Amino acid sequence: MHSLAKLAKDTVEEFVRNRKVKPVPEPLPQEMAEKAGVFICLKKHGELRGCIGTFSPCTGNIAAETIRNAIAAATEDPRFMPVTEDELPDIVYSVDVLSPPEKIKDMSELDPGKYGVILVSGCKKGLLLPDLDGVDTVEEQLRITRMKACILPDEKTEILRFTVKRYS
């Protein structure tokens, strides 16, 4: 298990069992020292169990972002009840570290296997990570992202793309 996935796992287990937030590792490994948006996805028996993250950093480093978002994925994803202690052995963790988003000029710059997307329409924003099972076309990627953000098909949007480094 990669060190970031292990940090997410240890964070969730400590929080669910003891309601304590793990401190940022000391010394801080170089791969965790930079600032970046981070998404944490939890799966149980192959099914999504929670996924929350940030597309731009809200904390001082990737480790702190991972800790913050791991707890949120386990306890605050509105699609699911909070993770319980008896579920912990069945949870599988992945951590996506996002590149800075960049505006696209043309739809040909998108590829759902390589790039995630962010749609922005006024104050509404939606994000979809890249390389997701069942999302094989740009059209499907944008449709799902619009739906997540409650952006209507005829609303004007700004489209940004990003890449991820995925760790599990």
Instruction: Walk along the chain (168 residues) in steps of 10 and give the mean pLDDT of each run.
Output: 96 98 93 95 96 94 97 96 97 97 95 96 95 93 94 94 95
Same domain, 88 and 108: no
Decide which of 98, 130, 152 is a domain's last residue. 98
- pLDDT, residue 105, reads 92
Decide which of 79, 98, 117 is a domain's last residue. 98
132 within a domain of the structure (yes/no): yes
Domain tally, the chain: 2
Q: Fill in the DSSP letter of residue 67.
A: H
Same domain, 93 and 110: no
- pLDDT, residue 152, reads 93
CATH number of the domain residue 52 falls in = 3.30.700.20
Same domain, 84 and 135: no
CATH number of the domain residue 107 falls in = 3.30.1490.150
Same domain, 22 and 81: yes
**95-117 b/e (C-beta count within 10 Å ≥ 16 → b):** bbbbeebeeeeeeeebebeebbb
Q: How far apart, in whole angstroms, are the C-alpha atoms of residue 12 and residue 157?
A: 35
Decide which of 78, 98, 118 is a domain's last residue. 98
The runs of H, that is alpha helices, within 19-150 are 30-33, 62-75, 138-149
- pLDDT, residue 57, reads 94
Query: What is the sign of the dihedral through the CA atoms of 76, 77, 81 and 83?
Result: negative
- pLDDT, residue 78, reads 93
Q: Which domain holds residue 55?
A: 3-98
Whole-structure pTM value: 0.90
Same domain, 29 and 63: yes
Same domain, 19 and 36: yes
Same domain, 154 and 120: yes
- pLDDT, residue 116, reads 96
112 within a domain of the structure (yes/no): yes
Same domain, 42 and 57: yes
Contact 149, 123 (CB under 8 A): no
